[in-house]
Amino acid sequence: MVFDYAVIGGGIVGTSIFNKIIRKGKSCVLIERELDLSTGSTKANSGLIHAGFDAKTGSLKARFNVRGNDLVEDLAKQLKIPFKRTGAVVVGNDIEKLNALYERGINNGVKDLKIVSTEELRMLVPNLSEDIKYGLYAKTAGLISPYMFAIALAEEGVKNGGVVKLDFNINKFTFSDGIFTMCGEDDEVACKKVVNCAGAGFNEVSKLLNVEEFPIKFRRGEYIVIDKSDFVKLSVFPLPTALGKGILATPTIDGNILLGPTAEDIDDYDTETTNNGIDKILSYIKSTFKNVPLNKNIRQFSGIRVSVGDDFIVKKSDKNENVVLIAGINSPGLTSAPAIAEYVVEELFCEKNKDINLIPRDSYFQGDSGRIVCRCEKIGENEIIRALNSPVPCYTVDAVKRRVRAGMGRCQGGQCMIEVCKLIAKRYGLKLEDVKKESKNSFVMFNGGTYEN
Amino acid sequence: MKTDVVVIGGGPSGMSASLEARKQGAKVVLIDVESRLGGILNQCIHNGFGLKHFKEELTGPEFANKLAEKVYQSDITVLLKSYVNFIGKNIVYAITPNGQEKIECKAIVLCCGARERTAGEIYLKGKRLAGVYTAGTVQKMINFYGKLPGKNAVILGSGDIGLIMARRLTLEGVKVKSIFEIMGHSSGLRRNIRQCVEDFEIPLLYNHTITRVVGKERVEGVYYAEVDENRNPKPETEKFIECDCVLLSVGLIPENSLLPEETKREKFVLVDDERQTSVEGIFISGNVLHIHDLADNATEEGEIAGKFAGLKALNMSKRYEKVKVYFSAKISYCMPQLINKKEDGKFTIYLRANDNFLKKYIVVKCGDVDIARKFCIGITTGEMQEIEVEYEKIKGDLFVDIGD
Amino acid sequence: METICICCPIGCRLSVKKENGEIVVTGNTCPRGKEYGISEFTLPKRVLTTSVVFNDFTLTMKTNIAIDKKLQNEALKQIKSIYKKEYKIGDVVIKNILDTGADVVITGKLLNV
């Protein structure tokens, strides 16, 4: 068949557009080269739904952020994933800068913004250092699981006729008679229109499509994850700098605490955590907060933000009007994604008809967990099996982890990883040694050679 | 469901607690999340267990089986594949294969063991790759499933599980290229250094740690370096070693999250000599209370907790005035920290030293009087020490020290 | 020869030497330590433990007495090639393995569900 649309890149932007196209009643295929969706920037960011005061007024970032913030709440409800408006506060002593940020927020159309007094600030953030006096409080900011958001959008899309192709590495594009044909290693897909939102892989796709390429830069952000705690109950930012929003302390939607990110320009896509990065986070956090529960530190990770100049690029290609280019989606990309999808589908592709009603996706959590597999996060066998049987194939350890949180807790999978491998192997008819952690060659274990009789 | 005593955790401590509570006459329900009793002993297939408790040398599964047989011969109710998600005073909630179960009881013994410290907790730098596992995970991988974590391993930390796994990997054909220990000495037993490391000529580098894990999808190698006296790596000593898996043996952490926060003080749960916590009717024993070197010790502690939980449930326990146990800076902790001033009999104080000592005494003082003394040829940070004290000698708070 | 006794968790530091044709062990605190010291001096022996994995169950086993340390690998090879059969704990799988006088005995059975 020839799909109406193909979306290339299974991050939050790709899955949002995929979902939106399905809502317009059109056929769509989502292409992802990795073994799961949301394995790039989408899996490794702060998980914040920003209010929208930070982006420069008039920029695409400002526009999509504010609109996206509006759209997320209903979307999350529909997708049966948790979302909470916990609020955010920028803290500092430079009241002029805070006022300027407030002004910008008002100009961007952000609602419920407020400069708070020292007293109010203490109430909002009891663990803030005494030296810090003022804050800009944004009530509309919220928390979501970025990967679960993307996965749920895709699952709903698939449940309503969309197609997701994982592990699809495009080798070749041909374009004739208004039809694109993409060739993977052992698969072909044909479509009429293409969205390139391949994130770090944007230029590779553009080259194959023979459309514009952009100078993409990588910026690495390291994070520390703390086990469940009420250390902060809302996202606490420092005053922003040229490098970004700075190191924040925020709860996650699942109750953990996230400290970070750092901002380091790097040449290659490299997700290492480093001494410098972790030290930077620790020294900043220790100087800004008290009672930091670092004894409950459970993990560090780093995520890559791509950038092309200061703003997002969301536009039709000048070389081929059937191609939409989306590049440089860094913060507030997660918040903006639903708004970018709306703009791309309704404005750029002119799909103006009303959204159709979709069959809802099923939650993995239906109150019957069964035998508990992940003890730290209390995740049961039934929940894992539901994730394994969900509409988007889920066959790596990390894919299971993103969906149900098995292995996300304080023992970091020490107790349940092999059990999860067993369930994956059983579901997909694999041997234990065929199960992968995340990517194609990330085998968890090997056969013992002479071992098996 | 209603019972007298609920024991949570079916490892050595939980099984012995159940048996001992039953012996007092209490009705007992024993709950475990796994599909069999024995806990982590089932994966510890090596020998060296049981000399103290059973007076014979056993492997982990044999040790577990000896206790499990007794449990099954008794009328203790065993709930397997059941996960306790909440405990309160006289109440336990568990998710069983038949759904949520509420168990009313008169005493609870918590015996849910420990978990391994992870890469994240020690801020292991580098990428999050396949091939970085805790030693216990690999033990399960090999002993239960016959799978290997790689072909060339390095081990970070020289705790007993790490040492045991060094031998196990070697015998299974995995090359153990090196063991790195950040401290100047191992926290493992001396005999394990001998029979697991030296027997196979595995390099064990003290004062060294891994500085970075590198690779694309799986581990392809690690950078390691010598550390200074503050345990910070010296950059000029950093070297690379090729390997495809990293095992972590960097400590065990009591899995006591079920306990109310009020029972904990700093790192430890406060208990008395009966192993009762500050919440009346909640007892605790085994690795969930403090990390034992030997399953035998965890078993014996289970017997103490089980006995008094049983008596408590049957309203047969007596109330005594309590004294506190203080200790010197040479000691990192003592267990228990509170003692009931009973009239007769003996109890044991377990302790770990902060440093290594040669030919010293462990002394328990009450005021200026030594009420117990024990000579030790060698005391190391890795080995738990114990000293017996007679109840009748207690006049007030106790002070434990290492001296001449 | 200086060595560490592996008979129990204490791990006594043993000193073993030959005096007038007789092997003398010092540093031991029990008779087992002496026996171990002599054996370590003449022919070091170890108890070998391992597990064998079948599709539906795993057997753990040990040699009932210590065997020549150098024969561990060869013994393992032989153990790994046993056929699948119903065993109970305590059953002998291989009698007198490699003529060491040691029997390989089942220590545990785990169902792989």
On average, the pLDDT of chain A sits at 95
10 Å CB burial of residue B266 (0-12, 13-18, 19+) is: exposed
CB of C64 less than 8 A from some CB of B = no
CB contact under 8 A, A300 and B120: yes
Cα gap B190→B381, rounded to integer Å = 12
Cα gap B7→B87, rounded to integer Å = 11
Q: Which of B35, B194, B383 sits opposite C4 (nearest CB)?
A: B194
The residues facing B5 across adjacent strands are B28, B107
Of all residues in chain C, what percent carry a pLDDT higher than 90? 82
* Strands in B9-131 per DSSP E: 28-31, 47-49, 58-59, 77-79, 83-88, 91-96, 99-104, 107-110, 114-116
Residue A25's CB: how many other CB atoms inside 10 A?
14
Minimum distance, in Å, between the CA of residue C49 and any CA atom of chain B: 6
| A128 and A170 in a common domain | no
Domain spans, chain B: 1-115+252-317, 118-250, 320-404
Cα gap A210→A196, rounded to integer Å = 12
Residues of C in contact with A448 (CB under 8 A): 53
Which of left, alpha, beta for B298 (phi over 0: left; psi -120 to 50: alpha)? alpha
Q: What is the pLDDT of residues A381-392, one digit of tens each?
A: 999 999 999 999
In a domain, A325, yes or no: yes
H or E element in which residue A428 lies? helix A417-428
Fold entry, domain B1-115+252-317: FAD/NAD(P)-binding domain (3.50.50)
Q: Which of B46, B65, B293 sits opposite C49 (nearest CB)?
A: B46
For B235, nearest residue in chain A (alpha carbons): A275
Minimum distance, in Å, between the CA of residue A446 and any CA atom of chain B: 5
**Options 3.10.530, 3.40.1710, 3.30.70, 1.10.760; CATH of C49-111:** 3.10.530
Q: What is the pLDDT of residues B30-79, one digit of tens each?
A: 999 999 999 999 999 999 999 999 999 999 999 999 999 999 999 999 99
Position C83 scores a pLDDT of 87
Q: What DSSP state is assigned to residue A343?
A: I
Closest-CA residue to A14 (of A308, A350, A317, A327): A327
Closest-CA residue to B7 (of B273, B363, B302, B296): B302
CB contact under 8 A, B218 and A441: yes
Residues of C in contact with B160 (CB under 8 A): none
| A242 and A177 in a common domain | no
Establish, for the pair of chains A and B, how many residue pairs have beta carbons separated by less than 8 Å.
Answer: 120
Minimum distance, in Å, between the CA of residue A446 and any CA atom of chain C: 14
CB contact under 8 A, B118 and A411: yes
CB of A367 less than 8 A from some CB of B = no
Identify the CATH number of the domain in which residue A114 sits.
Answer: 3.30.9.10
Cα gap A277→A247, rounded to integer Å = 11
Cα gap A430→A423, rounded to integer Å = 10
Sheet containing B245-248: which strands, arranged edge to edge?
Answer: B132-134, B245-248, B152-156, B175-181, B204-206
The residues facing B376 across adjacent strands are B360
Closest-CA residue to B289 (of B1, B11, B6, B4): B11
CB contact under 8 A, B147 and A412: no
Residues of A in contact with C81 (CB under 8 A): 450, 453
Q: Which of C46, C62, C76 sits opposite B195 (nearest CB)?
A: C46
Q: Using 50, 70 and 90 to split pLDDT, how confident is the model at A453? A: very low
Q: Using 50, 70 and 90 to split pLDDT, how confident is the model at A449? A: low
CB of A453 less than 8 A from some CB of C = yes
Cα gap B66→B71, rounded to integer Å = 9
A residues 403-432 lying closer than 8 A (beta carbon) to B = 410-415, 417-418, 432
Cα gap A322→A229, rounded to integer Å = 48
Cα gap C7→B404, rounded to integer Å = 29
CB of B238 less than 8 A from some CB of A = no
Query: What's the helix, strand, coil split of chain B in %, to 5?
Result: 25, 40, 40
| A302 and A221 in a common domain | yes
Which residue out of A24, A50, A405, A436 is catalytically annotated? A50
Cα gap A143→C105, rounded to integer Å = 57
* Strands in B233-313 per DSSP E: 239-242, 245-248, 252-254, 264-265, 268-269, 282-284
- Residue A50 annotated among the catalytic residues of the structure: yes
Closest-CA residue to B153 (of B163, B144, B145, B143): B163
Position C111 scores a pLDDT of 82
For B320-404, CATH gives 2.60.40
CB B146, CB C51: distance < 8 Å: yes
By residue range, what is the domain housing residue A112? 85-143+217-306
Q: What is the pLDDT of residues B146-169, one digit of tens each?
A: 999 999 999 999 999 999 999 999
Residue B59: CA count within 13 A, CB half-sphere? 29
Q: What is the pLDDT of residues B4-28, one digit of tens each?
A: 999 999 999 999 999 999 999 999 9
Q: Using 50, 70 and 90 to split pLDDT, how confident is the model at A5? A: very high
Q: What DSSP state is assigned to residue B92?
A: E
Residues of C in contact with B60 (CB under 8 A): 108
Position A256 scores a pLDDT of 98
Q: Which of C7, C53, C107 sits opposite B61 (nearest CB)?
A: C107
CB of A447 less than 8 A from some CB of B = yes
pLDDT mean over A14-19: 98
Q: What amino acid is encoded at A242 in this protein?
A: A
pLDDT mean over B353-366: 93
CB A301, CB A222: distance < 8 Å: yes
pLDDT mean over B220-235: 97
| A230 and A118 in a common domain | yes
| A159 and A260 in a common domain | no
Structural domain total, chain A:
3
- Sorted by sequence, the CB contacts under 8 Å of residue A70 that are 6+ apart come out as none
Chains contacting C (3+ CB pairs below 8 angstroms): A, B
Chains contacting A (3+ CB pairs below 8 angstroms): B, C
- Sorted by sequence, the CB contacts under 8 Å of residue C85 that are 6+ apart come out as none
Output the CA torsion A369→A402→A195→A177 (10° steps): -60
| A90 and A13 in a common domain | no
Residue with tokens 């008679």: A177
Residues of B in contact with A264 (CB under 8 A): none
Q: Using 50, 70 and 90 to split pLDDT, how confident is the model at A451? A: very low
Chain-centre distance for alpha carbon B68 = 19
- Measured on CA atoms in the order A146, A148, A149, A155, is the torsion positive or negative? positive
Q: Using only the alpha carbons of chain A, give its radius of gyration.
A: 22
Residue B370's CB: how many other CB atoms inside 10 A?
14
Closest-CA residue to B9 (of C51, A375, A408): A375
Cα gap B11→B200, rounded to integer Å = 31
Q: Are strands B99-104 and B91-96 parallel, antiparallel or unpaired?
A: antiparallel
CB contact under 8 A, A451 and C53: yes
pLDDT mean over B173-180: 97
Identify the CATH number of the domain in which residue A314 sits.
Answer: 3.50.50.60
Residues of B in contact with A380 (CB under 8 A): 95
CB A113, CB A138: distance < 8 Å: yes
- Measured on CA atoms in the order A326, A327, A329, A334, is the torsion positive or negative? positive
Q: Using 50, 70 and 90 to split pLDDT, how confident is the model at A452? A: very low
Residue A116: both structure tokens together: 């708070």
CB contact under 8 A, A273 and B141: no
CB contact under 8 A, C82 and A452: no
Residue B87: both structure tokens together: 């405990």
Phi, psi (rounded to 5 degrees) for B25: 110, 0
Q: Do domains B1-115+252-317 and B118-250 have the same CATH topology?
A: yes
Position C10 scores a pLDDT of 85
| A260 and A188 in a common domain | no
Residue A280: CA count within 13 A, CB half-sphere? 16
B residues 288-307 lying closer than 8 A (beta carbon) to C = 293-294
Taking CA atoms, A426 is separated from A397, A420, A435, B140, C56, in Å, by 13, 10, 10, 18, 13
CB A9, CB A196: distance < 8 Å: yes
Residue with tokens 């799986």: B218
In a domain, A451, yes or no: no
- Is the complex ipTM higher than 0.90? yes
Q: What DSSP state is assigned to residue A124?
A: H
CB of B90 less than 8 A from some CB of C = no
Cα gap A266→A165, rounded to integer Å = 30
10 Å CB burial of residue A269 (0-12, 13-18, 19+) is: middle
CB contact under 8 A, A414 and B146: no
Helix locations, A259-310, DSSP H: 275-288
CB contact under 8 A, A432 and B118: no
Residue B268's CB: how many other CB atoms inside 10 A?
17
Q: Mark B291-310 as b/e (b = at least 16 C-beta within 10 Å).
A: bbbbbbbbbbbbbbbbbbbb
In a domain, A48, yes or no: no
Phi, psi (rounded to 5 degrees) for B246: -125, 125
CB B43, CB B165: distance < 8 Å: no
For the entire predicted model, the pTM comes to 0.96
CB contact under 8 A, C53 and A452: yes
Establish, for the pair of chains B and C, how many residue pairs have beta carbons separated by less than 8 Å.
Answer: 84
pLDDT mean over A69-96: 97
CB contact under 8 A, B59 and C60: yes
Domain spans, chain C: 2-42, 49-111
Position C113 scores a pLDDT of 57
CB contact under 8 A, C60 and B145: no
In the predicted structure, residue C56 carries a pLDDT above the cut 70: yes
Sheet containing A142-144: which strands, arranged edge to edge?
Answer: A48-49, A142-144, A83-84
Site from A373, A423, A451, A453 to mutate, C interface, most C CB atoms within 10 angstroms: A453
Q: Mark A28-43 as b/e (b = at least 16 C-beta within 10 Å).
A: bbbbbbbbbbbbbbbb
In a domain, A445, yes or no: no
Residues of C in contact with A453 (CB under 8 A): 52-54, 80-84
Closest-CA residue to A424 (of A396, A386, A382, A383): A396
Q: Domain spanning B118-250: which CATH class is it, in words?
A: alpha beta
Cα gap C6→C8, rounded to integer Å = 6
CB A37, CB A175: distance < 8 Å: no
Minimum distance, in Å, between the CA of residue B47 and any CA atom of chain C: 7
In a domain, A319, yes or no: yes
DSSP string covering B335-360: E-SEEE--SS-EEEEEEEESS-EEEE
Identify the CATH number of the domain in which residue A404 sits.
Answer: 1.10.10.1100
On average, the pLDDT of chain B sits at 95
In a domain, A74, yes or no: no
On average, the pLDDT of chain C sits at 93
